[in-house]
């Protein structure tokens, strides 16, 4: 089983739609969770950190469920410019060398007019 | 531009050659990471430094790979005797090191093609 799993998609949605991505992780000791956005042939850019109580940034809402070891990203009112790959990332867990990030394979989103 | 920078952005080499990549982290960031990304996959961790100390190396990092960060600022990643399977995007990231796990900011990557 992969340490971080995401549905690769692609998700094809019309402008204005709401779309949700899920991500599961296997290391129960992980403490930090992130969503990154990656455009084609570019580097990952941080979209948002995910906090235990859930957090929102404009049209984007992230949730964490520690019991089920799952995080989610909700995008409301999708724009054409949201088309990208969304990468879920989880830190390596407790212990002295926990700083590495473990990424999922990414979920590709295509928003069409 | 005060972000993470990487050089070169693209490298094409023949199998068996050595290549070296450079990463300049965000100024005053103590932690520096190297990742590798192949098509259709997320970035995979290779190694990381806290200042000049290399604190962890992935099993992905074979003996042909070596990374250094001699003065705790920029870092180099060298691949000796390149193989076609080394073709990938090599990403560098840095973080401030002020929190136990804090946000990592990525550079634009070096795309390596081994012929």
Q: Cβ of B106 and A44 within 8 Å?
A: yes
CA nearest to B47 within chain A: A100
Interface test with A, best of B43, B92, B100 (most A CBs within 10 A): B43
Q: Give the pLDDT confidence of A78-108 residue by residue, as tens digits.
A: 999 999 999 999 987 666 566 789 999 999 9
Q: Which pairs from A74-78 meet CB under 8 Å and 24+ separation?
A: A74/A18, A74/A19, A74/A20, A75/A18, A75/A19, A75/A20, A75/A109, A76/A18, A77/A16, A77/A18, A78/A13, A78/A14, A78/A15, A78/A16, A78/A17, A78/A18, A78/A19, A78/A109, A78/A111
Region B63-74: mean pLDDT is: 93
A26-40 burial: b if 16+ Cβ within 10 Å, else e: ebeebebbbbbbbee
Secondary structure of residue B79 in the 3-state scheme: strand
How many angstroms separate the CA atoms of A24 and A30, rounded?
A: 12
Query: Which residues of chain B make contact with A42, given a CB cutoff of 8 A?
Result: 108
* For residue B90, pLDDT beyond 70: yes
Percent of chain B with pLDDT over 90: 79
- At B60 the pLDDT is 80
CA nearest to B5 within chain A: A43
Q: Enumerate residues 35 to 94 of chain B having a beta carbon within 8 A of any beta carbon in chain A.
A: 35, 40-45, 48, 55-56, 58, 91
Q: Which of these ranges, A59-68, B93-102, B104-113, has the smallest mean pLDDT? A: B93-102
Q: Is A87 on the interface with B (CB under 8 A)?
A: yes
How many other C-beta atoms are found inside a 10 Å radius of the C-beta of residue B12? 12
- At A8 the pLDDT is 84
For B28-77, what is the HEC assignment? Answer: CCCEEEEEEECCCCCCEEEEEEECCEEEEECCCCCCCEEEECCCCCCEEE
Among B35, B58, B101, whose Cβ lies nearest the Cβ of A99?
Answer: B101
Among A32, A42, A103, whose Cβ lies nearest the Cβ of B43?
Answer: A103
- At A72 the pLDDT is 96
């Amino acid at each position: 089983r992969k340490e971080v799993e995401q549905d690769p998609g692609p998700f094809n949605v019309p402008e204005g739609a709401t779309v949700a991505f899920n991500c599961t992780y296997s290391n129960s000791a992980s403490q930090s969770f992130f969503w990154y956005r990656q455009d084609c042939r570019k580097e990952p850019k941080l979209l948002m950190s995910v906090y235990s109580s859930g957090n929102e940034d404009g049209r984007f809402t992230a949730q964490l469920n520690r019991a089920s070891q799952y995080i989610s990203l909700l995008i409301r009112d999708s724009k054409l410019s949201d088309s990208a790959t969304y990468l879920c990332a989880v830190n390596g867990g407790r212990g002295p060398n926990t700083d590495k990030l473990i990424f999922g394979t990414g979920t590709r989103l295509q928003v069409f007019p | 531009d005060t972000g993470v920078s990487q050089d070169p952005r693209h490298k094409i080499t023949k199998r068996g050659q050595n290549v070296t990549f450079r990463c300049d982290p965000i100024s005053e960031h103590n932690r520096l990471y190297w990742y590798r990304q192949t098509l259709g996959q997320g970035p995979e961790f290779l190694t990381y430094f806290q200042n000049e100390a290399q604190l962890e190396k992935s099993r992905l990092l074979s003996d042909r790979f070596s990374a250094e960060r001699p003065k705790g600022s920029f870092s180099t990643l060298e691949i000796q005797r390149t193989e076609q399977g080394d073709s990938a995007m090599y990403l560098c990231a840095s973080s401030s090191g002020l929190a136990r796990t804090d946000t990592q900011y990525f550079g634009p990557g070096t795309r390596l093609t081994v012929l």
